[in-house]
A and B are shown apart, each in its own frame.
Chain A
């Protein structure tokens, strides 16, 4: 009898309200997993012992693959260290199980400690990685080095000196006679689980982990991870502490990998430093690559496909695992970088799972918590690069007027001033005040949290997320957000809400970025060349947006384009040679002889 006919029969027996709630659960993707779990559990008694043994091993691998998928596939951190955390989990399980099992007759505590050790090790390693702001390749190299070091260290721990209680590390030979999984007596456990019960336990374990991860990543956390993977800079400009979020993803992955390692050690009742080998690290990457990054299901499929292939190949040419894994790795990256599941999805015409915009309720109304216009001041700001003094004691205040503009010829120090205001570089001298508070030493994301909205010159958006997700991320990052729907209407991109942002036109991307600022509801908005690369129509619409922004926010525009400045009809500050050279109305400035000299490059008359 097929599964679907069974389930439809079952469904017809259910009362109506339960049926409705089941359908609701199904539409949220909550039914597939329990169904799969029950189906696979019902198969357990019919499997041969050798297959059951193999499946438990694969499940422990799959847990590790899941963890890499969270860390790499979702949060975009490529780490070779996942296999090290898996191995550390295995060793932790071995220590605790060997010492505790004779006393308590259970090893679930050991499995929990394995997860804990995985998480703690990840926290320790992650602190150095993320707070050093190591970028992708450097990060993978450091994690690889750590993995190799662990292998070296653990290989040289033979001899009676290296032990924890009754557990001897055993150096290169590893630790034998590790107790298997044993449930506590409260749960009806009596001694180590046999093969089939262990398989049942493993299936339940991975289902529970899968379910927990999927639920965690379903909502806000998943979108935040997607944002970090897509555009770290924008995440920071939205006020997220990217380092902390990455550390969280890494610790989460470490915990999961640790549990997987524990199961692995329990499966073989043995662990040795080979778990930290490069082949193992590569195999883990291949599982996730083959399945498809970012798809949890893909990680599981990857393990099955790769391990089955490797086993089949092993039957033909023995002991060539590194060759096969290596060839698979090269082939996958060159031919199918996206992996199997995303390609299958495309073949079957299924769309990738998207996040729906949360339904907006009453707060659609305009006038939602109107933010008071903010103030941005700089005092004696100076910056040198090597021998060149780029900014020289700039002092000024923005905020008395709704819009003000900073102009200046090339090399005047505009970009440097902008970077100092944003916090991408720190000043040699002087201070920056946002709404009266000194923010000179705060990192960018802290300034953004305190009400600074920043739009970079070239569009800085999440190119592989939808317009709606972009705006939603902005909402998550703000302490005082506006409704997404309202801002979407204001930037007139409502019809494109589920379009991938990377496919928008240049102008639309710029507006989307302004829309993200609107959602954040900052007090001061900094716009770096908002009209750059736009046609006349687009510029007009941007101008219109800036005027609308200025009714609720203090807007500062750094611009080149004189036509746009004129149309803004706002006070202008002219930066020249690192100082504020002139300020006043636009018409005042363009008729000023000295200003004309600067722009036409007649230096002699300026000096005179």
Chain B
């Protein structure tokens, strides 16, 4: 039974990873209802920036990750001002197509800059030993990071003036404007916050996964499924959906292969939506 702690750690790290992948999208798609297909490419920006800063400029990893989230915020704000702002009122499908186009362009530009398979960075902190099994110590860092992000977002959206304005603006921009809220500025901030979280996620995962221009495509599907399965409560819904999907896929991945893990994540989400079309939090009273 000594394998149980190992399984638990691995499940916790999968759940944390899934939450880290999805939290940026939870804000942009879950809260703002903007279908951001370029979510994965913002993760890619974060991961590429982090590796470049560590390898080329000799930044310590944690500083590089923080810096990459700032790069993501700036890129997100630019995208919002140049393009997304013009299509808030359009049909969600058109937003989807536009951001999809943007994601393809970002992918190609990244390939042109760093090539198809740039060098990565090794996972720091070595490995921990529990009950005779070794696992990377960095996975504990990921769990801690996920918890920090969750608490930070809860504080922002439940206890700050900006958080209240952001939720109000997302729900009813006309009413918010009628009450004197500068909706366009709030929207830009929220969009930038979401993008910076996506980049932060990419930066956090950078030492752990293979980094490259196509990495966004590997995560965008999972992130969307997690947020969609989470339902209207954009933070807790996403959290519980990450727990469910990440848990199931991690256990199946350990019993069978990684392929089963990733496939089961989608299957569980699709079957869940068949029976709860509004997602996990569809019948909850809370909306954060």
Q: What residues of chain A have their CB less than 8 Å away from a CB belonging to chain B?
A: 78, 128, 131-134, 136-138, 140-142, 144-146, 148-149, 152-153, 156, 277-279, 282, 285, 289, 320-323, 325-331, 333-334, 337, 386
B94 and A322 within 8 A (CB): no
With A128-B271, A137-B92 known to touch, is A149 a contact of B105 (CB < 8 Å)?
no
A282 and B94 within 8 A (CB): no
| A282 partner residues in chain B, CB cutoff 8 A | 100-101, 104
How many A-B contacts at CB < 8 Å in the complex?
Answer: 114
B266 and A145 within 8 A (CB): yes
B104 and A279 within 8 A (CB): yes
Alpha-carbon gap, A271 to B214, bound state (A): 21
Most buried by B among A282, A289, A323: A323
Which of these binds chain A: B13-21, B172-180, B182-190, B220-228? B220-228
A146 and B104 within 8 A (CB): no
A329 and B274 within 8 A (CB): no
**How far is the CB of B32 from the nearest CB of chain A, in Å?**
13
With A128-B271, A322-B108 known to touch, is A78 a contact of B277 (CB < 8 Å)?
no
A323 and B108 within 8 A (CB): yes
Query: What does DSSP make chain B's interface, helix, strand, loop or mixed?
Result: helix
Query: What does DSSP make chain A's interface, helix, strand, loop or mixed?
Result: helix
B225 and A145 within 8 A (CB): yes
A329 and B266 within 8 A (CB): no
Pick the residue among A138, A329, A330, A333 that contacts B273 (CB under 8 A): A138
With A148-B217, A328-B101 known to touch, is A333 a contact of B94 (CB < 8 Å)?
yes
Is B168 interfacial (CB-CB < 8 Å)? no
Is B107 interfacial (CB-CB < 8 Å)? yes
With A128-B274, A142-B273 known to touch, is A327 a contact of B93 (CB < 8 Å)?
no
B262 and A152 within 8 A (CB): yes
What interface size band does chain B fall in? 35 or more
| B97 partner residues in chain A, CB cutoff 8 A | 285, 289, 329, 333
Is B270 interfacial (CB-CB < 8 Å)? yes
With A285-B97, A325-B104, A329-B104 known to touch, is A153 a contact of B263 (CB < 8 Å)?
yes
A330 and B102 within 8 A (CB): yes
| B224 partner residues in chain A, CB cutoff 8 A | 141, 144-145
Is B86 interfacial (CB-CB < 8 Å)? yes
Q: What residues of chain B have their CB less than 8 Å away from a CB belonging to chain A?
A: 35, 83, 86-87, 91-94, 96-98, 100-105, 107-109, 112, 217, 220-222, 224-225, 228, 259, 262-263, 266, 269-271, 273-275, 277, 285
B86 and A334 within 8 A (CB): yes
With A128-B271, A148-B217, A156-B259 known to touch, is A329 a contact of B98 (CB < 8 Å)?
yes
**How far is the CB of A153 from the nearest CB of chain B, in Å?**
6
Pick the residue among A142, A277, A333 that contacts B98 (CB under 8 A): A333
Alpha-carbon gap, A320 to B103, bound state (A): 14
Alpha-carbon gap, A134 to B274, bound state (A): 8
Most buried by A among B101, B109, B222: B101
A326 and B93 within 8 A (CB): no
Alpha-carbon gap, A133 to B269, bound state (A): 14
Besides A144-B221, A327-B105, A330-B105, 8 more A-B contacts (Cβ < 8 Å) are A132-B275, A138-B228, A141-B225, A278-B100, A278-B104, A282-B100, A325-B101, A326-B103
